[in-house]
Amino acid sequence: MDHIHAFPRHFIWGTSTAAYQIEGAVTADGRGTSIWDTFCHTPGTIKNSENADIACDHYNRLEEDLDLIATTGPHYRFSISWPRVLPHGTGQVNEKGIDFYNRLINGLLERGVTPWVTMYHWDLPQALQDKGGWTHRDISNWFQDYAHILLDRFGDRVNNWMIVNEPSAISLFGHGYGFHAPGLTGLENLMPATHHLNLTIGQVYRMAKSLCPTLNIGSTYTRMDQRPETPDTPLTAVESFDCLWNRNFYDPLLLGRYPAQTLPYIKRYIQNDDMDIVKTDLDFIGIQHYAAIYVREDSAKIYGAFFGDNPTQFEKTGLGWPIDPDGFYDCLMHLKKTYPHLPPIIITENGAVFDDTLDKNGTCHDPKRIAFLKDYIAALSRAIADGVDVRGYFAWTLMDNFEWAEGYTPRFGLVHVDRATLKRTPKSSWQWYRQLIQNNGLLPEG
């Protein structure tokens, strides 16, 4: 990487996690059941029949983890489990759930760490799914009531909020292909879920700002460029997949309309002034990038397109995703060109899986992750120097955790978690990232 540019002063550095992936303790202290609990306990859904009943047991190891977080960096992104706060999705608040997040937030603040809180990272209360979940228009009211409680209870100490994590994954994986909870499929589920996600983000943003105008409120979106699998892949397939993955969310948010290709399927779910509400000037947009998607034409799939094979010219991460830092740069430049009035960007996730093991001294060397982070962060610095307004970077993820349908095999963490003992061991990439943060992005040697 030839051009590494200095990061702006006050650049935000941190790590990201999500409640369901680390907390465990799924029946502790009155927590209700989430759609992911149900899904994990449905045979054939998760690799090796794993589940997140224990996950990293973060719920019971909070003090130890707080110390780890505080020695990692000055900002930390985590999510709140809706069924811990409202076991039935609406109604009675579970004070023990509130206590847990108070301990977490206060513990961060006492240690000088700024919290960044995601309201919803996929663990919908099962009781709301039973009423239709994201396919039901009332979800935006249920969510506003939930968000109101969060702001009321934690808004005195938490200024930075993200409403929904990756609406495209929720709709496409959870409601189109069915390989994530709640396991629904087909356009008749995908389209209402897509619109209700967009609507909810717009409504919750407005509600939160009317409660407290000084809050910093965004939402997070995956952003991967779509590329043809082969030179023969029709452009229409690539464009279709771009709608499913990116444009069905970015266009309503930033332009106030759905792509022409989507409108015929979605218009029956649009009511009244919905399109004025979905268009929202978020205070920031969280962008999550892993790798470009190589698209294959497939007439059996939604919109006639699906994931193709990744090209052979790139090295791959442990999940087979191409390592392509220039692609990260291109993706940010492309985003800025497509939507000139983007709000400031925070990179809320970026990271990689490698096959990390402890050596006989109990240490974990992961030079490939250091190289990955170094090259991606350098690419980010180039995009900033070339005019993309990026204010922060959160590495995915603090510690090895439950990677959804992939279970525990993929290790994304800067900290190794032993699955038998749950012992946390910082990897060499953790040391490296810490040092990088201390130097505000001046890249240390790997």
- Of the two residues 129 and 220, which places its CB atom closer to ligand GCO in the complex? 220
Contacts of 41 (CB under 8 A, 6+ apart): 51
Under 8 Å CB-to-CB from 260, ≥6 apart: which residues? none
**Contact string (CB under 6 A) for ligand GCO, positions 114-143, x = contact:** ------------------------------
Measured from the CB of residue 93, what is the shortest distance to ligand GCO in angstroms?
A: 26
Terminal Cα distance for the chain, rounded: 14
Closest approach of Cβ 120 to ligand GCO, in Å? 11
Mention every residue, 6+ apart, whose C-beta is less than 8 A from residue 273.
Answer: none
Query: Residue 211 has which token pair?
Result: 């409660």
Question: Looking only at residues 217 through 246 of this chain, which bind ligand GCO when binding is defined by CB under 6 A?
Answer: 222
CB of 225 to ligand GCO, least distance (A): 16
The radius of gyration computed from the CA coordinates of the chain, to the nearest angstrom, equals 21
227 contacts 293 by C-beta, under 8 angstroms: yes
By the 10 Å C-beta count (0-12 exposed, 13-18 middle, 19+ buried), 335 is classed as: buried
- Nearer to ligand GCO among residue 94 and residue 168 (C-beta): 168
Asked if 63 is an active-site residue, the reply is no
User: In angstroms, what is the minimal distance from the CB of 352 to ligand GCO?
Assistant: 9
Which of 94, 129, 165, 350 lies at the binding interface for ligand GCO (CB under 6 A)? 165
**Which is the catalytic residue, given 50, 229, 349, 403?**
349
> Which residue lies nearer to ligand GCO by CB, 225 or 403?
403
The answer to whether 20 and 40 are in contact (CB under 8 A) is no
Q: Active site residue: 166, 229, 297, 403, which one?
A: 166
The closest of 440, 342, 326 to 388, measured between CA atoms, is: 342
Residues 166, 225, 229, 356: which binds ligand GCO (CB under 6 A)? Answer: 166
Pairing relation of β-strands 293-297 and 305-307? Answer: antiparallel
Strands in 34-79 per DSSP E = 75-79
Helix residue spans in 123-234 (DSSP H) = 126-129, 139-154, 167-171, 187-211
Find the shortest distance in angstroms from Cβ 121 to ligand GCO.
6
- Candidate segments 40-48, 161-169, 336-344, 363-371, binder of ligand GCO by CB under 6 A: 161-169
Structure tokens at 340: 């000139």
Interacting span for ligand GCO (CB under 6 A) from 57-65, 125-133, 162-170, 434-442: 162-170
State in angstroms the smallest separation of the CB of 222 from ligand GCO.
6
Strand partners, 16: 77, 396
Report helix, strand or coil for 86.
Answer: coil
Residues 264-303 binding ligand GCO (CB under 6 A) are: 288
The yes-or-no answer on residue 349 being catalytic is: yes
Find out whether 98 and 158 touch, Cβ atoms under 8 Å.
Answer: no
**In the set 36, 372, 396, 408, which binds ligand GCO (CB under 6 A)?**
396
Question: With CB under 6 A, what is the number of residues at the site for ligand GCO?
Answer: 11
Assess 349 for contact with ligand GCO (CB under 6 A): yes
Task: Enumerate binding residues for ligand GCO (CB under 6 A).
Answer: 18, 21, 165-166, 169, 222, 288, 349, 396, 403, 412
Question: What positions carry a catalytic annotation?
Answer: 166, 349
